[in-house]
């Protein structure tokens, strides 16, 4: 682990690290915010998964989350969105390859050698964080767009791991929308039965009642991707059928940008704090 | 005026505009945040001047100021830091030319044709803002580093224009430090007597008691530029001699980054609100 940057931020510490990922078979960077309380007690961790084209710095610099995380005593961990490096396969499109890992394990070439973001986020990164920092075992997860999809599938596929999950404008039904269909056909192949285990709607439909956790989704009604790529109401309908505790809030006038995230990240952190410290 | 972007942000509106500047003889962009109260009352304006290498988007995306500005009912105006465009003179250094206008009027070639940021910020931009947006005549000014210098000289040279001034890690004594000496010798020439009217320490020394306005400066003690470029204590000593109401706060562990600005921008906005609405 190599410390690339460290800054005081709201009396906590904002750091950026590089490490060699054995899961992804490349060097990776991630950012972490340690609240001031971390000097006395082990803080719980909120994992934040970013969207298409992002790396670990978008949320870190634009969301304004550290102010509230410092107050609440929550550590924030911000990973990158794909494997990186010259020998990692890529695509000319912004929605496939680097910056577009979709938080799954690819089975098809040329992707399968490196694109294992699911295993990285589920196993390697939390193990690294727990080994290197004084944090507690309590964790929650959140994300934006492709990262909202990532947060939801992480929570749905790993009962007992997270106390709560939230998302901003998530891709809830990737098997049915252009972004997901492009990514899944490339990463997973054309057998659509294999796609279902990476689709939040399918996963929630198959979930057990005792595994449900509090879930908060914010969606702007001026989001240019709402109708074609996002459709969070589809997941809300599954949640209704399954009595899953999901709150979907439609935010008037808000779009897909970090201005939307900045406007409501405080609500998400306070929502997670209720359950992380509950 | 061409609207380049608009986003809902904390129930206000974050916009980015392009216009042809007659002062700078080039096209310029600026960003503006209009608080939700702007629909009913004309809000006062806080002008924010950014530092070296920045444009109008650094503060806009990284400082988290909109949350507090929305609550207080203050409009934020974020200009660029220099003239722009292919026919504008530039330099290979990050601290001269584009992104480094130093908020002065250049007298030397090749700079004098475009580098008139002082006149732009003092006259053209406020006139444009007042003509295009429903804002009040009350204004305050703030900035970071080179922009802290800009905010201080704007306030010191224009009594009665601003109700208060603040700065993060400002260059208070540019005639005595490397950044200022490089910029001033290029923009103003080698006659150092002409430099004095762009130096906050010299301007405050020459100020009249009745023109003093409340002034807040924050400085991180882990700022890599503190000893060599900034030295805010020099201005604090002038303020003491002149009974100028300046508060200099040294913030332990903080550096020169936007994490420092984000940590204390709320204090600055509340400080300005006291005087804007007082």
ipTM of the modeled complex: 0.93
pLDDT value at residue B278? 84
Which residue from B237, B241, B247 is spatially nearest to B213, judged by alpha carbons? B247
For every residue of A128-175, DSSP letters joined together read HHHHHS---S-EEEEEETHHHHHHHHHHHHSTTT-S-EEEES----GG
Per-residue confidence band for B156, with pLDDT thresholds at 50, 70 and 90? very high
Half-sphere exposure of A272 (CA within 13 A, CB side): 30
Query: Region A216-242: what's the mean pLDDT?
Result: 97
Which value, to the nearest 10 degrees, does the dihedral of the CA atoms of residues A262, A217, A231, A211 take? 150
In angstroms, how far apart are the furthest CA atoms of chain A? 51
> pLDDT (tens digit, 9 = 90+) per residue, B61-85?
999 999 999 999 999 999 999 999 9
pLDDT value at residue A40? 84
CA distance between the termini of chain B: 33
Mutate to test the interface with A, among B262, B265, B267 (most CBs of A within 10 A): B262
Per-residue confidence band for A37, with pLDDT thresholds at 50, 70 and 90? confident
Query: Region A153-177: what's the mean pLDDT?
Result: 98
Per-residue confidence band for B173, with pLDDT thresholds at 50, 70 and 90? very high
- Cα angle at A228 between A223 and A229, to 5 degrees? 80
Residue A175 has pLDDT above 80, yes or no: yes
Instruction: Examine the residue annotation and report whether A119 is marked as an active-site residue of this protein.
Output: no
Residue A70: Cβ-neighbour burial (10 angstroms; 0-12, 13-18, 19+): buried
Q: Which of B256, B263, B268, B272 is catalytic?
A: B256
Residue of B nearest to A253 (CA): B8
Six token digits for residue A121: 């986020």
**Residues in B touching A257 (Cβ below 8 Å):** 7
Q: Is A218 in contact with A168 (CB distance < 8 Å)?
A: yes
Nearest CB to B64; choose among A64, A222, A260: A64
Q: Is A228 in contact with A169 (CB distance < 8 Å)?
A: no
Which value, to the nearest 10 degrees, does the dihedral of the CA atoms of residues A56, A58, A64, A68 take? -30
- Cα angle at A181 between A175 and A182, to 5 degrees? 160
Instruction: Examine the residue annotation and report whether B82 is marked as an active-site residue of this protein.
Output: no
Which residue from A140, A183, A125 is spatially nearest to A273, judged by alpha carbons? A140
Q: What is the pTM of this model?
A: 0.96
Q: What distance in Å separates the CA atoms of residue A225 and residue A230, rounded to the nearest whole number?
A: 6
Phi, psi of B109 (to 5 degrees): -85, 150
Q: What distance in Å separates the CA atoms of residue A152 and residue A8, rounded to the nearest whole number?
A: 31
pLDDT value at residue B40? 85
Pairing assessment for the beta strands B45-49 and B75-79 based on DSSP bridges: parallel
For every residue of B105-128, DSSP letters joined together read B--STTTTTT-BHHHIIIIIHHHH
Query: Region A171-196: what's the mean pLDDT?
Result: 98
| Cβ within 8 Å of B, A 26-85 | 61-62, 64, 66-67
**Residues in A touching B8 (Cβ below 8 Å):** 220, 222, 251-255, 259-260, 263
Please answer yes or no on whether B259 and A8 come within 8 Å at the CB atom. yes
Among the ranges given (A43-57, B27-41, B77-91, B96-110), the one the predictor scored with the smallest mean pLDDT: B27-41
Give me the sign of the Cα torsion angle B130, B136, B140, B142.
negative
Token pair 């530029």 in the structure block, residue? B225
**Residues in B touching A251 (Cβ below 8 Å):** 8
Per-residue confidence band for A148, with pLDDT thresholds at 50, 70 and 90? very high
Sheet with B12-21: list strands edge to edge: B2-9, B12-21, B26-34, B75-79, B45-49, B139-144, B165-168, B215-220, B246-251
Q: Where are the beta strands (DSSP E) in chain A?
A: 2-9, 12-21, 26-34, 45-49, 75-79, 139-144, 165-168, 215-220, 246-251
Six token digits for residue B262: 């984000």
Q: Is B28 in contact with B21 (CB distance < 8 Å)?
A: yes
Helix spans in chain B (H): 57-62, 65-72, 117-119, 125-132, 146-157, 178-188, 200-205, 232-242, 258-276
């Amino acid at each position: 682990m190599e410390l690339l940057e460290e800054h005081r931020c709201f009396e906590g510490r904002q750091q950026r690290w590089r490490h060699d990922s054995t899961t992804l078979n490349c060097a990776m960077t991630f950012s972490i915010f340690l609240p001031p309380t971390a000097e006395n007690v082990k803080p719980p961790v909120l994992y934040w998964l970013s969207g298409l084209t992002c790396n670990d710095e978008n949320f870190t610099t634009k969301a304004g989350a550290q102010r509230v995380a410092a107050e609440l005593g929550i550590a924030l961990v911000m990973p990158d969105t794909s494997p990186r490096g010259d020998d990692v396969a890529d695509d000319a499109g912004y929605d496939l390859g680097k910056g577009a890992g979709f938080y799954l394990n690819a089975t098809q070439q040329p992707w399968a050698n490196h694109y294992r973001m699911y295993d990285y986020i589920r196993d390697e990164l939390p193990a690294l964080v727990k080994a290197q920092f004084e944090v507690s075992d309590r964790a929650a997860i959140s994300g934006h767009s492709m990262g909202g999809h990532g947060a939801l599938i992480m929570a749905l596929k790993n009962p007992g791991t997270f106390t709560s999950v939230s998302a901003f404008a998530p891709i809830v039904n990737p098997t049915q929308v252009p972004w997901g269909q492009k990514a899944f056909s490339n990463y997973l192949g054309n057998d659509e039965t294999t796609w279902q285990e990476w689709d939040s709607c399918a996963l929630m439909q198959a979930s057990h009642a005792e595994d449900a956790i509090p879930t908060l989704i914010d969606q702007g009604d001026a989001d240019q991707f709402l109708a074609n790529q996002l459709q969070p109401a589809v997941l809300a309908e599954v949640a209704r059928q399954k009595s899953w505790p999901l709150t979907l809030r439609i935010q008037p006038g808000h779009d897909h940008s970090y201005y939307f995230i900045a406007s409501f990240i405080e609500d998400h952190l306070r929502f997670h704090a209720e359950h992380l410290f509950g």
